[in-house]
Structure 1
Amino acid sequence: MDVSTGSLFLIAILIAASAFFSVAELAVAASRRLRLRQMLAQGEFRAGQVLAVQDQPGDYFTVIQIGQNTVAILGGIVGEGAFSPLIRPWLSSLPITAERADTVSVLVSFVVVTSLFILLSDLCPKRLGMNAPEQVAIRVVGPMRLFLLLFKPIVWFFSRLTDRLFRLFGLPDRRDDAITPDDILAMAQAGADAGVLAAPEHRVIENVIELDTRMVTSAMTARDSVIHFLLDDTEALIKARVAQFPHSTYLVCEGDIDHVLGYVDSKHLLNRALNNQPIDLRAEGLISKVLSVPDRLTLSEMLSQFRHAQEDFAVIVNEYSLVVGIITINDVMSTVMGSLVASLDEEQIVQRDANSWLIDGVTPIQDVLRALDLDRLPHEDEYETLAGFLMVMLRRIPRRTDSVSWGGFRFEVMDVDNFRIDQVMVTREADQAVPAPA
């Protein structure tokens, strides 16, 4: 084997070594702990070794840096003239001096070797490590453990020195692997974009995460829509109301809705009717004690209240002890399941075309933001519904045809019933409109 062939062979070995260290570094760093835990549960013991490296990465990356720097130094020594003997004969046929031919051959050799290192030991391995990090990491962790043993004294020295520097500057010595709600939403969005997660399933995940931020008022039946009985209501009136508004439970109040006595179950009323017993709300045992909760609870806290009280129905009151609405466990679950369970009649947001939506005034602002693909609306801490947004922006009770423009959208009040905003038409501004499909 001549000098030129030996140099080329050594360059190939150095490129392979550098590629190995590059892919080993990036694959372990990019590996997802959740995926590694799944692989470990399926019997892949090497995934546990990768997790151990991620928990204590100092020694592992020290070995990689030692290897990469050693390869870089050797590559610089060997690579400078590795291709010169192959290039010089070709240059000798050109009308240039021998001295210049030597200079050009060395320069070309340097460019070729550097290009090979960049392509084969950096770009390609790192792309592989990014595209399949877990699969690559479990294959390189074994050989890397051998390097750890071989370079243990050097690794110990540099690792301890690095630890001291980190403590000196107050830097974190471990990565934070805590998964936040934003991380879950980002993963769900990535799954939806990749087609792995269906749109309704993606929406359910978003709704579950939002249970900790959505208030009970966003899912309740507002007081104006609450069907309730008064203690002195006649049997005929009760039967007529049940027939007109069939529900499983009804509030029972004394005088007005703000003086709640409890609730009555419709099945108890049905039993009395089937047994030819008079329906009298004063009858003993007919009215049950109702769960009352403040209007500042989140939906997640509301579920806890239902679980602890073993109830599925509650009255929501404000700081003045006035009833603002009622909520059932079905209301909470409907918020989670969204369009999977809601009928067309219950939809609060109806998209008319690519540039307009008809939205109920009591629609929670989170749903409005999602439907319009907006990140935020102004003064979000001052309201919870679309009607509240319009009131805050107008600084008065909106009237029909009132409108607000913000964020490229126009919000126009279409219907107001006794100061309650029933319907709002939302349209894109002309300069933001999406062209209709041809």
Structure 2
Amino acid sequence: MPVFEIAVVVLLVLINGVLAMAELSVVSARPARLRSMADNGSSGARIALSLAADPGRFLSTVQIGITLIGILAGAFSGATLGGRLGEWLRDMGVSPGLADGLGYSLVVAAITYISLIIGELIPKRLALQSPERLASLVAPGMMLLSRVAAPAVWLLDISSRGILRLLGESGKGDDSNVTDEEIRAIVAEAETAGVIDPEERRMIAGVMRLADRPVRAVMTPRTDVDWIDLTDDPDAVRQTIRETHHTRMPACEGTPEESVGVIDIRDLLEAYLDGETPDPRQFVKQAPVLVETAGALDAMKVLRHAETPLALVVDEYGSMVGILTPADLLDTIAGTVVFDEGGQVKPDVVERADGSYLVAGSTPIDELADVLAIRLPQDSSFHTAAGFMLHELKRLPQEGAAFEAMGWRFEVVDMDGRRVDKILVARAVTPRRRAPLMG
């Protein structure tokens, strides 16, 4: 029995499997995890990072090894095992001309099958399951192989780069190849695997949304802002303080457009409790001013260093269009919490039994897009569901106004004055085509 020949072929197949596993594990390994392992003292992880940093050289090394193993396995198995099998077939009565060819073909087919299973598929499946751990294990051997085969590796690497240049490619990958979609996919996968909770996933998504939003999309609009009119008499100011539940309010001269600063209600209330009749102007503090088109992250930096954690948001004409507080930014990350008159939480989007959604007009449009699984233009000028309705209808709607877009039907079901308050979103019904009459 050709034990030695079989052992050699099995060894070659196993080496091929190690090379295939090394190729996929190093390419699939996440650099952040490899760096963490390297920081914890893993020399294999450091070598794997250096191999991944020069993919052309690494892939040339792997291809040289796999090609040589394939040639050796085919030649050796055909010359030895194929010949022995041919002799056995002749002894079994098969004609000599047919026995040699049949023996060689059967051996090559068997070796190819074993190589595909043991030398390719299984190692690559293992590499996909634990890429970082396996990359750290095989990296030292791959580094040694690249040094031994340095001349051939250099020739293959320089040849492939030259051909890529002729094709108009630089041969270098884009450094910023991680997209928002990939990050969301990783987070969703982590939630499915139980690594993070659903609430954590929503907060991570909120942080990503915050980075993409301007101040106008996260501020409290002027129509919802309680403010103190410095031209009012003391009794009117005291009544305003009693009716508000805020601790800080903008101070304005007659109209919200003429905002001059912020008043801390506790300071003013303390003066009233002491029996005084204070002048509200003496309690006005300077507040940071933000342009409505500024980024939300830039606004966060301003609020972090501001003496008063309330910023006045102005438009291009300098008029106040809203205010921004840390609570507004937190709502974007953790989710907006709205309470009804009874003190109960009122969600922005409510899914109904028939699969439709009842949506508040103030719902951020990117959150609604996530719920409906639709993609909106990146340069859209609207930031809420109500703004989307106005953008599509091109007019101030009345109750019952509707349109269809992106596979959904949007209908205004409630108006609060001139504000779109409630929207009904349902799947669009595609009319059925009549079948042609058969003559």
**TM-score, normalized by length of structure 2?**
0.88
Deviation at 1:165, TM superposition (A): 5.4
Deviation at 1:291, TM superposition (A): 2.2
Which of 287, 311, 316 aligns to 1:314? It is 311
1:216 is aligned to 2:215: yes
Name the counterpart of 1:7: 5
CA distance in 1, matches of 2:90, 2:277: 114
Cα 1:123–1:304 shift into 2, 3 Å? same
Deviation at 1:91, TM superposition (A): 7.7
Name the counterpart of 2:109: 111
Name the counterpart of 1:423: 422
Name the counterpart of 1:102: 100
Q: What secondary structure, in the 3-state scheme, does the structure 2 residue paired with 1:80 have?
A: helix
Q: Which amino acid aligns with 1:313?
A: L
Q: Which amino acid aligns with 2:311?
A: A
CA distance in 1, matches of 2:48, 2:211: 34
1:290 is aligned to 2:299: no
Deviation at 1:190, TM superposition (A): 2.3
Whether the 8 Å CA contact 1:232–1:281 is kept in 2: the answer is no
Cα 1:131–1:172 shift into 2, 3 Å? farther
CA distance in 2, matches of 1:156, 1:393: 59
CA distance in 1, matches of 2:153, 2:228: 78
Structure 1, unaligned stretches of length 5 or more? 433-438
CA distance in 2, matches of 1:320, 1:25: 60
Structure 2, unaligned stretches of length 5 or more? 432-439
Whether the 8 Å CA contact 1:229–1:253 is kept in 2: the answer is yes
Name the counterpart of 1:351: 351
1:332 is aligned to 2:303: no
Mapping 1:368-387, distance limit 5 Å? 368-376=368-376, 381-387=380-386
Cα 1:77–1:214 shift into 2, 3 Å? same
Name the counterpart of 1:274: 273
Mapping 1:187-202, distance limit 5 Å? 187-202=186-201
Q: What secondary structure, in the 3-state scheme, does the structure 2 residue paired with 1:246 have?
A: coil
Deviation at 1:125, TM superposition (A): 1.3
Whether the 8 Å CA contact 2:86–2:103 is kept in 1: the answer is yes
CA distance in 1, matches of 2:277, 2:306: 31
Cα 1:168–1:426 shift into 2, 3 Å? closer
Name the counterpart of 1:435: none
Cα 1:243–1:87 shift into 2, 3 Å? farther
Whether the 8 Å CA contact 2:85–2:104 is kept in 1: the answer is no
Cα 1:366–1:142 shift into 2, 3 Å? same
Q: What secondary structure, in the 3-state scheme, does the structure 1 residue paired with 2:335 have?
A: helix
Whether the 8 Å CA contact 2:89–2:103 is kept in 1: the answer is no
Q: What secondary structure, in the 3-state scheme, does the structure 2 residue paired with 1:410 have?
A: strand
Deviation at 1:198, TM superposition (A): 1.5
CA RMSD after TM alignment: 2.7
Percent identity, please. 28
CA distance in 1, matches of 2:404, 2:159: 59
Whether the 8 Å CA contact 1:294–1:319 is kept in 2: the answer is yes
Q: What secondary structure, in the 3-state scheme, does the structure 1 residue paired with 2:280 have?
A: coil
Whether the 8 Å CA contact 2:47–2:143 is kept in 1: the answer is no
Q: Which amino acid aligns with 2:397?
A: P
CA distance in 2, matches of 1:349, 1:245: 27
CA distance in 2, matches of 1:170, 1:429: 45
Deviation at 1:130, TM superposition (A): 1.7
Whether the 8 Å CA contact 1:218–1:363 is kept in 2: the answer is no
Name the counterpart of 2:436: none
1:186 is aligned to 2:188: no
Deviation at 1:204, TM superposition (A): 1.2
**TM-score, normalized by length of structure 1?**
0.88
Deviation at 1:174, TM superposition (A): 4.3
Whether the 8 Å CA contact 1:250–1:264 is kept in 2: the answer is yes
CA distance in 1, matches of 2:189, 2:398: 42
CA distance in 1, matches of 2:162, 2:104: 43
Name the counterpart of 2:125: 127
Whether the 8 Å CA contact 1:84–1:109 is kept in 2: the answer is no
Deviation at 1:80, TM superposition (A): 2.1
Cα 1:114–1:248 shift into 2, 3 Å? same
Name the counterpart of 1:299: 296
CA distance in 1, matches of 2:293, 2:8: 71
Name the count of aligned residue pairs: 425
Name the counterpart of 1:25: 23
Q: Which amino acid aligns with 1:234?
A: D
Q: What secondary structure, in the 3-state scheme, does the structure 1 residue paired with 2:118 have?
A: helix
Q: What secondary structure, in the 3-state scheme, does the structure 2 residue paired with 1:382 have?
A: coil
Deviates more, 1:138-147 or 1:125-134: 138-147
Deviation at 1:299, TM superposition (A): 1.0
Name the counterpart of 2:202: 203
Q: What secondary structure, in the 3-state scheme, does the structure 1 residue paired with 2:380 have?
A: helix
Deviates more, 1:104-113 or 1:349-358: 349-358
Name the counterpart of 2:84: 85
CA distance in 2, matches of 1:201, 1:74: 53
Name the counterpart of 2:49: 51
Q: Which amino acid aligns with 1:300?
A: L
Whether the 8 Å CA contact 2:23–2:62 is kept in 1: the answer is yes
Name the counterpart of 1:413: 412
Q: What secondary structure, in the 3-state scheme, does the structure 1 residue paired with 2:284 have?
A: coil
Name the counterpart of 2:392: 393
Q: Which amino acid aligns with 1:266?
A: I
Cα 1:235–1:412 shift into 2, 3 Å? same
Q: Which amino acid aligns with 1:260?
A: S
Whether the 8 Å CA contact 2:287–2:306 is kept in 1: the answer is no
Deviation at 1:322, TM superposition (A): 2.5
